[in-house]
Structure 1
Amino acid sequence: MDIAVVHFSNETLEAPTKSMHCRSVLLPVLARIVEYSRLSPLQEEMYRVSLAALDHMAIGICVVDPSGRVIIENEEARRIFALDDGLTRTNERLVIGPSSSAPDAFWAIFDDHGPSARGQTSLRCFRVARPSRGAPFLIEALPLATPRATSGDELTRAMIWIVDPESVPPVSRRATALLYGLTASEAEVCNLLIDGLTLSGIARARYVSVETVKSQVRAVYQKVGVGSRAALVRQVLATIPPVCLACQIDGPDDE
């Protein structure tokens, strides 16, 4: 319970009319201040938790303003920027390509999200070549317009997702087995199929016969509900949670 106390001199027997008027004006303001003071720690905690959650994502995530200033970035985005391989952050600003500024096509995403574009989908995709000749980055950008807390105008930002094809989350045997009811051996065979190994290659890797592998592959197809390796890859990859590699490591209970 919050209490506001107003003191008058001992000679004052009744609160002056002017003071009563000031009180009626002041109390709502004080109540709002108290409300905000209670909300701020909660908002700060929610902010910290949200950033911590983003750090567990296996794709780079950041938020930039129209000037290119990076406002928020997760751990994977920081890793990608540190590579300085076609995509980096210099002086707190996003830099794409060898030049000191991102391509015009990228910054045009902010032009597409004015009041007239409200309600329209403005997701854009960009391919960023890497000087190292590695697999190019894929960037997806979505402008976000939110009202300012202190005024009615909009605060424009862009949500950026960065995919590094050279850092793909592995398929978890534990998750695959749990989702489709596979045995530990079937889950391992499933992963080896997704990795592209032939039946004879799987047999050599697991020190079993090719006939045993064929039997396990049939069981995997039946449980997953597919009829080919391509369908199996699509189905399993669609269920991989986009969490960091450390979170995907299988424990000894998978054996």
Structure 2
Amino acid sequence: MTHPHRHAEILSAAERASNALELFSRTSARLRRDMPFDAAVWTATDPETGLVTAPMLVENLGSREACATYWESELLEENVLPFRDLARAAVPVAGLRAATGDLPARSARFRRLLGGQGVDDELRAVLRIGERPWGSVSLFRMRGGPAFGPHEIALLADLSGPLAHRLRRFARPSGSDGGPGAPAPGLLLFDEHGEAMSINEEARRYLALLPDGPSTPTALGLRLPIWLIGTTLQARAIAQGNDRGSARIRIRTLDRQWLTCHASCLSGPGGRPGPTALVIEPAPPADLAVIVAQAYGLTPREFEVAQLVARGLPTAEIATALFVSPHTVRGHLKAVFGKMGISSRGELVARLFAEPHRA
């Protein structure tokens, strides 16, 4: 059973964070006192797709280039405890040795990467609200350390929801958000082996705006963040039939723009595998509205009401469209106003839709 005092101290450290990266750093430092580990990877995830996005904190785990191998294995190989399964599991936390009967080499990720780096056990968690993932964490113990036990799994499971709520808050709008970036989409092309082979100038401009984090070198003379590499790997996983999800993330830039990055695999002559295209562009208004609604914790029905308000429908017409009473609509609208800290329909429309490049 998790000690309440220990749980409260960890969340108190997280509460003092001013951004997601600081949240990861504070939580990791405090958690290590109660649950020793040698290395860690903390990352935000896109709540729609579960793919990694900025920021990411890597502690004491080899080179930054190893991150690309880690996520390549995660997305393209059959593995024990993939994050996409943990996001839907009854308990969103699991230990590698516990899950494999103390035989971690059953995992392709362990055979290909972790074992060679001296890792003896990995404890993974998805930081989620419902089945919506806002972050993930991997904690590692090197050889000679004990396996992660039930009490440690329970502690991290208890932290999953509260930490996800804190991560979600950092996706909310702020008054300092910057203006639009390059007007045209950025485009990157990768060959069938996943190597970057061409890029346009717009993509270079967007890359310069992305926050620092693990990256991998390319023949183009620039380093690509692991979040973009992960998105292209997901596109390949979908093309190979290993996944049916979406190769899409939203990411916030240094000047606080929201960008949407999406990848797809193209086909060549005779249906042969072609390049993978990655498009980077300012988040469109509809996509931005989804981000903001998720950040404030609106339910699907509350978001429906908000969308109909944005179309200018009065309460009676919204009630008719949703097959509910006007009283129910007013209740949903009151809940939306309370969650978003606003008091009028005009503020709601402005918050959700009026700033297509900002959030």
> Normalized against structure 2, the TM-score is what?
0.24
Determine which structure has the larger strand proportion and give its number. 2
Higher Rg: 1
> Normalized against structure 1, the TM-score is what?
0.31
